[in-house]
Amino acid sequence: MNNRMMTLKKLAELSNFSVSTVSKALTDNPEISKPTKNKIKKLAELYNYIPNITAKNLKEQKTRNIGVIIPNILAHFFAKVLVGIEKEASKQGYHIITCISDESYDKEVKSIEMLANGSVDGLIISISKGTFIKKNYKHIQSIIDRGLPVIQFDRVIDEIITDKIVIDDFKSSYNATTTLIDSSCKNLAFVTPIHNTSVGTRRLQGFQKAINKASNIESSKLFVIDDYKIFAKDFQGYLQSDTIDGVLASDELSAICAMNLIIGLGLKVPEDISVIGFTDGILSENSNPPLTTVNQHGQELGLLAVKQLVNRINQNSEEYKTTIMNTSLIKRKSTCK
Amino acid sequence: MNNRMMTLKKLAELSNFSVSTVSKALTDNPEISKPTKNKIKKLAELYNYIPNITAKNLKEQKTRNIGVIIPNILAHFFAKVLVGIEKEASKQGYHIITCISDESYDKEVKSIEMLANGSVDGLIISISKGTFIKKNYKHIQSIIDRGLPVIQFDRVIDEIITDKIVIDDFKSSYNATTTLIDSSCKNLAFVTPIHNTSVGTRRLQGFQKAINKASNIESSKLFVIDDYKIFAKDFQGYLQSDTIDGVLASDELSAICAMNLIIGLGLKVPEDISVIGFTDGILSENSNPPLTTVNQHGQELGLLAVKQLVNRINQNSEEYKTTIMNTSLIKRKSTCK
DNA sequence: CTGTTAGCGCATTCAT
DNA sequence: ATGAATGCGCTAACAG
């Protein structure tokens, strides 16, 4: 904003009408006569008048901004969700203010504080790993108590009551595991870098359920990734001493890493070991061999989140609901058959 | 914003002080006495008072928002830049409002219009492919004329005078090509999906310059990608009838695609064909073989962009300058030696 | 040390 | 059909 900016007041002086007449003329209020409207509109056009959005926001007690907090924009899934959010928000006339928590509790708290001072009309959030580990959710609850509409997606805190949009992690994981088992894998491994999150937990449960239900499983092994280098050593060590013929990973990157480690040992994917990952991203599509993945439909998820949030902003009446999105298994060459 | 929100006015009534006294007390103005400050601060704490940022912004004629327009968040480079932008902006107390142009001129125009109504104090932009093709830059110039500070990065329009941050595309490309030539590649191909952009043009020029300077080049071939499927056919067709022993791609994804096409034909990377890409992202790091790439240091670029923009917001005096960022070639296994 | 007043730019109610 | 007055929530110059 600078002194070049045209305002209603200046326009009023220039046109010899009052501020309120100018305001009404520009919003096509029927109280104002045609000729007056025309004069004023022409003048506004000439001087490139643009209504000051901040003043409007103050007057109307809203911002037309949506806050978005995601753990990691470099993960394809979150990037895709963001694309969906941006598209729908833009369509509905909302800006999005993006904060990246970088999986850190502290950054998440700070971001929320920065957003909850009236900067946004609502918030879409996926919880950071750090917060799950810390198990401290006060920062989320406090903004809800303050009356800010919140939508949680993907990584959600069950105890915090808001609208939620998740995928059916348990079922997706169960189905993916079953796919491995059906292609006669008997020695399975579950690889996860998000062990502490809601999502990670459910995916592991789905994996275990499928294994328990199957009759001919010989072994199963859990690899929790904190550090990829340590994981590489552990995983390859295990491969050399034990048998694995099927891997399910709870995200995309760890699936690709596992596959590369397998290939690095001279083993074949999928002939020796089948691999399935979560999130259908650029990595999965372009790996060699291309990776069979659980498609989480991130973009639609983002779209839905905005729709639900805008709904909630406009009418705060409905029951809070959890939407479970379908996934689909995209079969590529990292699995047999 | 809702009626639950505490305001200075309500706080004034509750405390029996005037609004201005309350305001001053809460900003630790030395005019106010210790006991009064304490009383008021305690009350503010008790009622969970948070200053309304919109009102503050209106008063101070600024938004503490930075607009960011990028062509495609799914490209690792832009995601990385965004990470840098978010980090530095957050550090400096700015929000970022992210718009994705999706390489479209129309969306870029619309985004700029949505941002330039006082929603942001400044803008960081990388131009869309569509805009380069259309060669219509009025929407950019108009916001600059209106006095909004703008930083262009990576894909920049030379004719539009703003601060710019770019990488040395020509030199990076020249060096990468030279690396191929030095490892005795004689039949080179340049693969590019961004042929129309400033960046794409300069990278091609660097490639050509290196070829012209070399003495023993036997052939060189340009592949412009509009559609990846068509490219796949063309490229593999060429591979089958002609010789290529070195590929430089102007971005990450096309490099990976080229490599996969090569491997798909039973050829070996790097033994038969060396491949180098631009942008050091997740794809390059995790491909098989891992890809030699030009690292563009996206995060630092984002950081710098914010620093420069904030500088420009605070003092509109300096000369406009173009910062050229260094790149580095990360050698991995897709090239010989 | 505290309060009164004004004003940021806009929309709107209430006169005229 | 037009204008005056009010208020959104905040800061700050000025008065006392």
- Whether A337 is in a domain gets the answer no
Q: Which residue has the tokens 């973009």?
A: A299
CB B189 within 8 A of CB B246: yes
Q: What is the pLDDT of residue A117?
A: 82
The whole-angstrom separation of Cα B97 and Cα B94 is: 10
- Residues contacting nucleic strand C by the 7 Å CB criterion are A 1, 5, 7-9, 19-20, 23-24, 26-27, 51-52, 55-56, 58-60; B 16-21, 24, 30-36, 55, 58-59, 61
- Whether A57 is in a domain gets the answer no
Q: Which residue has the tokens 């400096």?
A: B92
What is the band of A146 on the pLDDT scale with cuts at 50, 70, 90? Answer: confident
Q: Which residues pair with A224 in a beta bridge?
A: A192
CB A204 within 8 A of CB A190: yes
**Which domain, by its residues, includes A37?**
8-51
User: Residue B2 above 70 pLDDT?
Assistant: no
Same domain, A279 and A316: no
Omega prior to A71 cis, within 30 of 0:
no
What is the band of B232 on the pLDDT scale with cuts at 50, 70, 90? Answer: very high
* A67 Cβ contact list (under 8 Å, min separation 6): A96, A97, A99, A115, A119, A120, A122, A123, A124, A125
Q: What is the pLDDT of residue A1?
A: 56
The order of strands in the sheet holding B219-224 is B219-224, B187-192, B246-249, B274-278, B292-295, B328-330
The whole-angstrom separation of Cα A61 and Cα B109 is: 27
Q: What is the pLDDT of residue B3?
A: 65
What is the band of A3 on the pLDDT scale with cuts at 50, 70, 90? Answer: low
Q: What is the pLDDT of residue B4?
A: 73
Angle, helix B105-115 to helix B138-145, in steps of 10 degrees:
10
Same domain, B123 and B155: yes
| DSSP-based three-state secondary structure for B165 | strand
Same domain, A173 and A290: yes
> What pTM, to 2 d.p., does this model score?
0.92
CB A151 within 8 A of CB A308: yes
CA of A14 to C1' of C13 (A): 25
How do B328-330 and B292-295 pair as beta strands? antiparallel
CB A148 within 8 A of CB A118: no
- Whether A135 is in a domain gets the answer yes
Q: Which residue has the tokens 């070049």?
A: A4
Could you read off the pLDDT of B298-308 as tens digits, one per residue? 999 999 999 99
User: Residue B336 above 70 pLDDT?
Assistant: yes
- Whether B334 is in a domain gets the answer no
- Whether A140 is in a domain gets the answer yes
Given its phi and psi angles, is residue A93 left (phi above 0), alpha (psi -120 to 50 degrees) or beta? left
CATH number for the domain harbouring residue B114:
3.40.50.2300
Q: Do B253 and A282 touch (CB under 8 A)?
A: yes
Which chain B residue shows the shortest CA-CA distance from A66? B97
**Smallest CA–CA separation between A52 and chain B, in Å?**
6
CB A293 within 8 A of CB A283: no
Which chain A residue shows the shortest CA-CA distance from B55? A58
Could you read off the pLDDT of A173-182 as tens digits, one per residue? 999 999 999 9
Q: What is the pLDDT of residue B125?
A: 98
Determine the average pLDDT of the residues in A261-276: 96
Same domain, A191 and A279: yes
Cα B320-B72-B169 angle, rounded to 5 deg: 50
Same domain, B319 and B306: yes
User: Residue B245 above 80 pLDDT?
Assistant: yes
Same domain, A33 and A115: no
| DSSP-based three-state secondary structure for B293 | strand
Determine the average pLDDT of the residues in B107-123: 93
Residue with nearest Cα to nucleotide D8 C1': A59
Determine the average pLDDT of the residues in B110-127: 93
- Whether A332 is in a domain gets the answer no
Could you read off the pLDDT of B176-202 as tens digits, one per residue? 999 999 999 999 999 999 998 999 999
Name the CA radius of gyration of chain A, rounded.
26
User: Residue B151 above 90 pLDDT?
Assistant: yes
Determine the average pLDDT of the residues in B79-83: 98
Say how many domains are in chain B: 3
**Smallest CA–CA separation between A59 and chain B, in Å?**
9
**Smallest CA–CA separation between B257 and chain A, in Å?**
7
Could you read off the pLDDT of A40-85 as tens digits, one per residue? 999 999 998 999 999 999 999 899 999 999 999 999 999 999 999 9
User: Residue A2 above 70 pLDDT?
Assistant: no
Of A54, A65, A117, which is closest to B118 when you measure between CB atoms? A54
Q: What would the two tokens of residue A164 be?
A: 């939620």
Q: For chain A, what is the largest distance between any 2 Cα atoms, rounded to a whole number of angstroms?
A: 89
Q: In the predicted model, what is the mean pLDDT of chain B?
A: 94
Same domain, A238 and A308: no
User: What percent of chain A stands above pLDDT 90?
Assistant: 91
Q: What is the pLDDT of residue A118?
A: 87
Q: Do A53 and B119 touch (CB under 8 A)?
A: yes
Same domain, B265 and B315: no
Residues in chain A: 337
**SS3 track for chain A:** CCCCCCCHHHHHHHHCCCHHHHHHHHCCCCCCCHHHHHHHHHHHHHCCCCCCHHHHHHHHCCCCEEEEEECCCCCHHHHHHHHHHHHHHHHCCCEEEEEECCCCHHHHHHHHHHHCCCCCCEEEECCCHHHHHHCCCHHHHHHHHCCCCEEEECCCCCCCCCEEEEECHHHHHHHHHHHHHHCCCCEEEEEECCCCCHHHHHHHHHHHHHHHHCCCCCEEEEEECCCHHHHHHHHHHHHHHCCCCEEEECCHHHHHHHHHHHHHCCCCCCCCCEEEEECCCHHHHHCCCCCEEEECCHHHHHHHHHHHHHHHHHCCCCCCCEEEECCEEECCCCCCC
| Interior/surface letters B107-120, b for 16+ CB within 10 angstroms, e for the rest | bbbebbebbbebbb
CA of A36 to C1' of D14 (A): 40
Q: In the predicted model, what is the mean pLDDT of chain A?
A: 94
- Whether A134 is in a domain gets the answer yes
Same domain, B267 and B174: yes
- Whether B337 is in a domain gets the answer no
Which one, of A117, A112, A104, A7, lies nearest residue A51 by Cα? A7
* B135 Cβ contact list (under 8 Å, min separation 6): none
The whole-angstrom separation of Cα B270 and Cα B184 is: 12
Same domain, B121 and B20: no
Which one, of A287, A283, A282, A254, lies nearest residue A270 by Cα? A287
Same domain, B183 and B257: yes
**Smallest CA–CA separation between B131 and chain A, in Å?**
19
HSE-up of A180 (CA within 13 Å, CB side)? 38
Residues in chain B: 337
- What H or E segment, with its residue span, contains residue B322? strand B322-325
Report the amino acid identity of residue A210.
A
Contacts of A76 in chain B (CB under 8 A): 74
Other beta carbons less than 10 A from residue B265's beta carbon: 13
Determine the average pLDDT of the residues in B37-57: 92
Same domain, A201 and A303: no
- Residues contacting nucleic strand D by the 7 Å CB criterion are A 16-21, 24, 30-33, 35-36, 55, 58-59, 61; B 1, 5, 7-9, 19-20, 23-24, 26-27, 51-52, 55-56, 58-60
